[in-house]
Amino acid sequence: MNNPPHIAIIMDGNGRWAQARGKARAVGHQKGADNIRTILKHCRHIGIKHITLYAFSTENWDRPKLEVQFLMKLLEKYLKLELDVYIQNDIRFATIGDLSVFSDTIQQLIQTTKDQTAHCSGMTQTLALNYGAKDEMIRAIKQIKDRQNITEKEFEKLLDTKQLPPVDMLVRTGGECRVSNFLLWQIAYAEIYFCGTLWPEFSPSELDIMIEKFTQTKRRYGGL
C-alpha cells in the first residue's frame, strides 16, 4: 500500500517532557510547537497530502488559567511565524473546531493565514482548535433539516472536516492509549499507532517507521 494520504496526530507529552527536565510545562509546549514544524516539513517532503493536528481541545479550557493563557499566546506566535513556512513549502492552512471563542486577534490571524495560503496545494495542514468530536457532531446535528432520511455522506458534509478525506493513520505520542475526543467519526477505519515518545521528541524517523508499517497493512474496511 502507498503512504497514507491523511495522517492525524494527538501531540501528547509536552508537559511531562518539560517536567522531566525540571522545567515549567510552558517550556514543553514551546518545544512541542517547534516540533510541529519539523514533522510538517517532513510530511510535505515525503508526499503526505493532509496532516491534522490536535492543538487545543474543547476540554483543554479546564487547565489552569495561566497554562491556557500561555497556550493562547503560543498559538498567536505560532501563526505569525509559520505563515512564511507554509508559503515556502506550498502548505495550505486550515482549521477544525469552533473558533468563535478565540480572541479577535487570534481569529484574525487564523483568517489571514487561511487567506494567504489558500493557493497552496502541496499539502493541507489542519489545526484542531477548540475542537472536540462530540461538540463537532452536536453542531452538525443541529444543522440537519431532514433527520429521518439523512445519509452518512450528507452527515459528513455537516462536519468541520467536510473538506478533508477520511483519516488513514492516527498517531498518539506520549504513551496514553486513547483517542481523547479527536475525530471520532473520521477515524472509523484509520490505522492507529500509539507510541511512548513525548511529542517534543517525536522524530521524522519514528513517523517513518509507523508509515512503513501502515504501507504493509491490508485494510479491509470490514470486508475480506
> Which residues are the active-site residues?
12, 60
One-character DSSP codes across 71-125: HHHHHHHHHHHHHHHHHHTTEEEEEES-GGGS-HHHHHHHHHHHHHHTT--SEEE
Applying CB under 6 A, which of residues 11, 91, 170, 183 lies at the interface with ligand FPP?
Answer: 11
Query: How is residue 62 written as a grid cell?
Result: 479546564
Interface with ligand FPP by CB under 6 A: which range of 11-19, 84-92, 184-192, 209-217?
11-19
Near ligand FPP by CB under 6 A: residue from 4, 7, 8, 14: 14
Strands 123-131 and 91-96: parallel
Q: Report if residue 55 touches ligand FPP, rule: CB under 6 A.
A: yes
For the bound state, the minimum distance from the C-beta of residue 124 to ligand FPP, rounded and expressed in Å, comes to 15
Tell me which residues in 24-43 interact with ligand FPP (CB under 6 A): 29, 32-33
Whose CA is closest to 127, among 208, 19, 9?
9
CA–CA dist 117, 192 (Å, integer): 29
Residue 113 CA to residue 107 CA, distance in Å, equals: 10
Q: For ligand FPP, which is the closer residue by CB, 127 or 159? A: 127
- Is there binding between residue 132 and ligand FPP (CB under 6 A)? no
User: What are phi and psi for residue 90, nearest 5 degrees?
Assistant: 60, 45
What mask of x and - would describe binding to ligand FPP in positions 62 to 101, judged by CB under 6 A? ---------x--xx--x-----------------------
Angle value at C-alpha 165, between 152 and 42, nearest 5 degrees: 155
Site for ligand FPP contains 60 (CB under 6 A): yes
Report the interface residues with ligand FPP, using CB under 6 A.
Answer: 11-16, 29, 32-33, 55, 60, 71, 74-75, 78, 127, 174, 199
